[in-house]
Amino acid sequence: MKTSIIDKLHEHLVNGNGITPMEALKKWGCFRLSARINELRKFGMPIITETIKKNGKSFANYFIAQ
């Protein structure tokens, strides 16, 4: 059975890992991480968004508070 990106993302976050859009693209080919995060939030997952600024650019890091 093929595992969806939502399932992979859920497992990744529940295991205590954070994820950025670039990591999601490299790991699973996911171009729309924020949309997948929004879907998981609708299911009740308490996902936190942290904005990271690096080299003059900003991007999100998503994780579940431990």
Confidence class for position 2, pLDDT limits 50, 70, 90: low
H-run or E-run covering 6: helix 5-14
pLDDT tens-digit map of 10-49: 999 999 999 999 999 999 999 999 999 999 999 999 999 9
Who has greater pLDDT, 66 or 58? 58
- 23 backbone dihedrals φ, ψ, rounded to 5°: -65, -40
- Give Cα 32 to chain centroid, integer Å: 10
Residue 59 CA to residue 21 CA, distance in Å, equals 8
| The pLDDT of residue 21 | 97
Q: What sign has the CA pseudo-torsion 10, 38, 23, 30?
A: positive
